[in-house]
Amino acid sequence: MRGLFTPITKIRRQVFTEVARFAYERDLENSDFSYFYESSYRIIPGEQPQYRDSVFKERAIIRERIRMALGLSMRPVDRHHPLTEDMRQADTTEKCLDEPLVSVIPFACEACPTDQFFVTNNCRKCLAHPCTSVCPVKAITIGKRAAIIDTDKCIKCGRCVQACPYNSIVRFGRPCAEACGADAIDSDELGRAVINQDKCVACGLCIVSCPFAAIADKSEIFQLITAIRKNEPVYAEIAPSFVGQFGPLATPGKIVAALKKLGFSDVLEVGLGADVGSIHEAREYIDNVPGKQDFLGTSCCPSWEAYAVNTQPELAGCISSSHTPMVATAQKIKEMNPDARVVFIGPCVAKKREGLEDEVRPYIDYVITFEELMGMFGAKDIEWQELEEEEFTTLASRDGRNYAVASGVAQAIVDCIKKEHPELDVPVENADTLKECKKMLLKAKAGKCHGHILEGMACPGGCVGGPGTLMPIPRAGAAVKTFAGGSPYETALDNPAATSHQA
């Protein structure tokens, strides 16, 4: 649903804008959090429900979304808990996020069927009715108007789907579960979706796949804006997939200008950190593959890395030890200004979880998505046509910017290897979405990826398909490649800022 302005898009943007506006306008010394009691009425006005069967239910869901947008947990559903009781905890410039970052709002979930086969009205009740013949458990009978599937008997083998000459039998599942490559979506006692946090790798694809907006993630925009309001030096590092995300008028130069108008001290490309990572991983490959380890797995996608470690722990040692581009860029910022606060702005929910890791906390203060940034732009009434172009302080190479697109990471590493060792043959295996990553890991486990670089991406199309993006994946990928082509440097080794960091 990315790239479509749906009611879900509208609701999410309204919530982020409400929180951002309050953060920018509130009295820092004596903030009145009762402001948020009225927020649900501003978003859902009047007496008639807009999206569900009850206006009261709609507002209740909005209130939980507001709490999560403040970085707080949802309230318990089995006892009274005032909306603003613990909101003071959010009034800080420190990181206040904790697990779980992604949660199902129980009363927003419609308890969709988990996996069913359904006969549509395209059924002709044909004489052959091969569906009954191929069903191994005799779960299909022919009724007065159409074939009937006994869901209690059905073993979901799918043979009926393949046999029907009219394509009248369809399989459908719970959208959030279908999107989850980690199989982390379970059901509670009422049949509603619930996330198994032991399996979840925080890819966030369930968030954008739920048609009822029942899944949300916590945000740090309130703490981020509070730091800006308190005149702390806050630096923005923005992922290369930002290009085109904010509309045709929002050129890269104007986005830099808009970020500074929001109060950021400076803006750097995360592609710089990608260049640093490319050089490091190229050296890892040269030093270790295939002599010391069978293959080298990329490390830039935390969901892919977590999935690989969770499901194939014996292969974990083959994943690169390189910092992700987010962390490498933050290290550069901290070198420039040790007192800087750093916010990563990107398409990714998993980066929020990465930001909680002990070894990452010293470098990353906040993580927000493009969608959350859009809420900040809305709160400050940013008008793109009124902004003048500004340039990035530090540039990234073509290859570093192309990290945002599937296959771009591996290509960047290969280009570094080839630049110093043109005689080497470097085979590559790519996978985007965790379901494809699973297949790639099984090949590696079977010894079929000897000497390879394995690039894993949790999201379709790479980072341009992340849950925090705002435009269709193909258009986003094309925009990134155009932006990448404008870099004065082709490879990471051509970028003086990246090579000096390595030195």
pLDDT in tens, 447-489: 999 999 999 999 999 999 999 999 999 999 999 999 999 999 9
Shared domain check, 373 and 291: yes
Binned at pLDDT 50, 70 and 90, residue 503 comes out as very low
pLDDT at 440 over 50: yes
pLDDT at 424 over 80: yes
**What's the confidence (pLDDT) of residue 1?**
62
Shared domain check, 395 and 256: yes
Q: Which residue has the tokens 């800022």?
A: 497
- Determine phi and psi for 356, rounding to 5 degrees: -85, -10
338: in domain: yes
What's the rounded Cα separation, in Å, for the pair 44 and 277?
46
Shared domain check, 457 and 312: yes
363: in domain: yes
- Rounded to 10 degrees, the C-alpha dihedral 372/229/327/306 comes to -40
What's the rounded Cα separation, in Å, for the pair 346 and 219?
13
Residues 417-440, mean pLDDT to the nearest whole number:
96
pLDDT at 153 over 60: yes
496: in domain: no
Shared domain check, 143 and 62: no
User: CA of 268: how far to CAs of 240, 283, 393, in Å?
Assistant: 10, 25, 6
Average pLDDT across the chain, whole number: 95
Shared domain check, 377 and 298: yes
Q: Domain count of the chain?
A: 3
309: in domain: yes
State the CATH number of the domain containing residue 144. Answer: 3.30.70.20
502: in domain: no
Shared domain check, 283 and 399: yes
Shared domain check, 216 and 145: no
Q: Encode burial over 246-272: b for 16+ CB neighbours within 10 A, e otherwise.
A: beeebbbebbbbbbeebbbbbbbbbbb
What's the rounded Cα separation, in Å, for the pair 181 and 48?
38
Shared domain check, 281 and 407: yes
Domain hosting residue 146, numbered range: 115-173
Binned at pLDDT 50, 70 and 90, residue 212 comes out as very high
- Residue-wise pLDDT for 50-70, tens only, equals 999 999 999 999 999 999 999
Query: Residue 262 belongs to what H/E stretch?
Result: helix 252-262
- Residue-wise pLDDT for 265-299, tens only, equals 999 999 999 999 999 999 999 999 999 999 999 99
Shared domain check, 486 and 342: yes
- Residue-wise pLDDT for 121-151, tens only, equals 999 999 999 999 999 999 999 999 999 999 9
Encoded tokens for 441: 């890991």
Shared domain check, 101 and 237: no
2: in domain: no
272: in domain: yes
Residues 371-385, mean pLDDT to the nearest whole number:
96
- Residue-wise pLDDT for 10-48, tens only, equals 999 999 999 999 999 999 999 999 999 999 999 999 999
State the CATH number of the domain containing residue 436. Answer: 3.40.950.10
Shared domain check, 151 and 70: no
Residues 346-361, mean pLDDT to the nearest whole number:
96
Shared domain check, 35 and 151: no
pTM for the model stands at 0.93
Percent above pLDDT 70 for the chain: 99
77: in domain: yes
